[in-house]
Amino acid sequence: MDMKKEYRKVLVPVDGSDSSFHALEQAFQFSSTEKSWITAVCVAPDYEGDLDTLATGGDILAKMRQPCEKALVKARDIAAQKGYTIKTVLEEGEPSSRIVDLADAYNREMIIMGRRGLSNLERAFVGSVTQRVIGQSHGDVVVVPNGVALAWKKILVATDGSPCSLAAVERAVRFAKAYDGEIEVVSVVDVPAELYGDAPDLVEELGRKANGYADAAVQIIKGKGLSATPHVVEGVAYEVIPDLARTLGAQVIVVGSHGRTGMRRLLLGSVAEKIIGFAACPVLVARP
């Protein structure tokens, strides 16, 4: 595994919300250690009205850009107050695509995004822009809840034995070494309730596999000169992983972006996004 992963270029989407500006402030703290260059981007929507109206009313596009311009001015002001210099970019189009395209164009290794406080009903779904950025990004994505600090002293990394979860383990090791942190490992036995009565042998086998995944991750971490504690929990992955993070006092959860297992698609797409929705701490979605 490559332990020299660097985050010299970070992209932070801002949209005028408190949560996006909080993410920007956390990016400043991150960059102070990582020596990162920060770009703040705001994406104005495409004009979808009548083209004839656009031709006779040229200020429509300017009005559509105004919220982004104000957001970027505030981003620069916040940076100046904190003693940082940032690059700001105003893009137009579908937000998630433009964010990912910009990250690729500027070689941004990490995207740091804010997350609004969500109601119990909304927790099962992350905002569509965040969801699509996670799905499309070629680099790592960190999602920070509003009002919560991004810290790395206590890291919970989820594994299901897949290559993508190995990327998550690599990131956990990288940050634990960089920030003198400690690592907890979790593997989930995510089995429908009916299987406990109908297929107890299968449930037992899945439990053995989960223990094996956790132990294998711990051995990798120990091979890098760090210690780690394995945890195997039963339940719905996107519920029990955030619950364990709270119990352990984890400051960040690290997950792979496309983990697949025979038992279920443990960390695939919507499950990783639901972990973000339920987590009280930041979540790093690691790319292989």
268-283 tens-digit pLDDT: 456 788 899 899 999 9
Q: Which domains, and CATH codes, for the chain? A: 1-147 (3.40.50.620), 151-288 (3.40.50.620)
User: What is the DSSP secondary-structure string of 85-99?
Assistant: --EEEEEES-HHHHH
64-69, long-range: CB < 8 A, 24+ apart: 65/90, 65/92, 67/16, 67/42, 68/16, 68/42, 68/43, 68/44, 69/42
- CA 155 to the chain's CA centroid: 14
> In whole angstroms, what is the distance from residue 74 CA to residue 65 CA?
14
Give me the residues of the chain with pLDDT under 50, please: 1-3, 121-122, 124, 259-268
Question: What does the pLDDT read at residue 65?
Answer: 86
186-237 tens-digit pLDDT: 999 987 666 656 666 777 888 899 999 999 999 999 999 999 999 999 988 9
Question: What does the pLDDT read at residue 124?
Answer: 47
Contact 261, 162 (CB under 8 A): yes
Close Cβ partners of 73 (under 8 Å, ≥ 6 residues apart): none
pTM of this prediction exceeds 0.85? yes
Question: What does the pLDDT read at residue 268?
Answer: 42
Angle at CA of residue 132, ends 127 and 134, nearest 5°: 100
> In whole angstroms, what is the distance from residue 130 CA to residue 151 CA?
20
Contact 253, 283 (CB under 8 A): yes
Question: What does the pLDDT read at residue 102?
Answer: 94
